[in-house]
Chain A
Amino acid sequence: MAVVAVFSATVVASDFALAGFVNIKLMDTIVFLVSFVFGFKQGAAVAVVSETVWSVVSPWGPAGAMMPFLVGGELIFAAAGWGASRVWGNDRKVLSPTAIFIGATLAICAFVWDFEANAASALIINWPRLTFGELVAYELSGFVFPTPLAHELWDFVLGALMAPAAILAIPRARRL
């Protein structure tokens, strides 16, 4: 419970701090690394709590019907963190190829998140008559430079730099 509270608060606070930078957030990386270090349930809980709170208190207004899709999208990072811990969990070095692998995993998750969010927007706006053409149009318009690219590159950089260091530091901090 404490882990979820601390990291959810960190996510929401960082979201406010980075509110001026669209699609650049610490949320993805934090959810990923909580899941990596503490397990999928903890990561998923941080994802659900922080994304739910942010969807309500965001300075751009409540997310409304998009909220469940945003929360669901964030669970991708929790699942990826859990999966990554099973594959690379024993490699606890900051400077290693694993850092690049984690960054790449986060970039892929960011893409899936963008894709899912665009599809959700198309579904909500065109409900109940969403055509395949409208879906494709929403996906194309949602991937207009530079916002999604910034999201993926940012997640890659944070994943490669911050996540390995945090994965090392968090278990040590817990022992203090």
Chain B
Amino acid sequence: MVSKGAFYGIVAVLAALLVISSVVAVAYYDEYQQELTTNSHQSSELQHLISKYGATLESSVLVYFGNGTQQWYNDTQVQPGWNLYTLTLAVTNGNVNSTCCAYGSHFITGIDGIQNQPSKNTAWLNWTYNSTSGWATAQVGADQINVYNDSAFAWTYCAYDPITGAPRCPAGTP
């Protein structure tokens, strides 16, 4: 037979557990609703962008061969999620040589039949373009550079400083 004190105590413990679990449930529900609202907002924003720009994006690539010859691939249609490596493959019809993937990215060893020459400190270097700061050499590999709408990139075949790795040529004119 359970005493009156024990009975009330057990009721109190069960009620407290109910209260605490209810508070956790309400907190979880609130977090869920907030995430739902945020996701709904982002989803509608994405739908708006897709309807505005279409499912494909456009990007431009300059390939500079180092001998005065250069080729622009303007307004190339790209898919969301592409990176500079896939973009380069697309614009050159796959005419790219590379090794994979020492630092989390393909290392480009040749484009359109022009190969890197380590003995002459000459290689394909990639550049990104910013409307305010202009061209800058990329600090990461081609796989790690995401392609956005209206973005511009360049590949230049030129000599580089063997110590600092700094290119000894400009990217070209955008």
Which residues of A pack against B, CB within 8 Å? 87-88, 90-91, 97-98, 100-101, 103-105, 107-108, 111, 140-141, 143-146, 148-149, 152-153, 156
Contacts and interface: CB of A to CB of B under 8 A. Distances in A.
Contacts of B16: 103-105, 107-108, 152, 156
A111 B12 contact: no
B27 A104 contact: no
A153 B23 CA distance: 11
A145 to B, nearest CB: 3
Contacts of B17: 104
Instruction: Decide if the interface of chain A is mainly helix, strand, loop or mixed.
Output: helix
Interface stretch (B3-11, B85-93, B112-120, B141-149): B3-11
A112 to B, nearest CB: 9
Contacts of A146: 27
B15 A98 contact: no
Nearest to B20: A152
B23 A149 contact: yes
Given A87-B4, A91-B5, A107 B30 contact: no
Interface of B: 4-6, 8-10, 12-13, 15-17, 19-20, 23-24, 26-31
A111 B9 CA distance: 17
Given A104-B15, A156-B20, 20 more contacts: A90-B5, A97-B6, A101-B5, A101-B8, A101-B10, A101-B12, A101-B13, A104-B9, A104-B13, A104-B16, A105-B12, A105-B16, A107-B20, A108-B12, A143-B26, A144-B27, A145-B24, A146-B27, A149-B20, A149-B27
Contacts of B6: 97
B9 A108 contact: no
Given A100-B13, A107-B16, A143 B23 contact: yes
A91 B5 CA distance: 9
Q: Identify the interface centre among B10, B16, B30, B31: most chain A CB within 10 Å of its CB.
A: B16
A150 to B, nearest CB: 10
Contacts of B5: 87-88, 90-91, 98, 101
Nearest to B34: A144
Given A101-B9, A104-B12, A140 B23 contact: no
Contacts of B27: 143-146, 148-149
A139 to B, nearest CB: 8
A58 B21 CA distance: 31
Contacts of A87: 4-5, 8-9
Contacts of A100: 9, 13
Given A87-B5, A91-B5, A140-B30, A149 B24 contact: yes
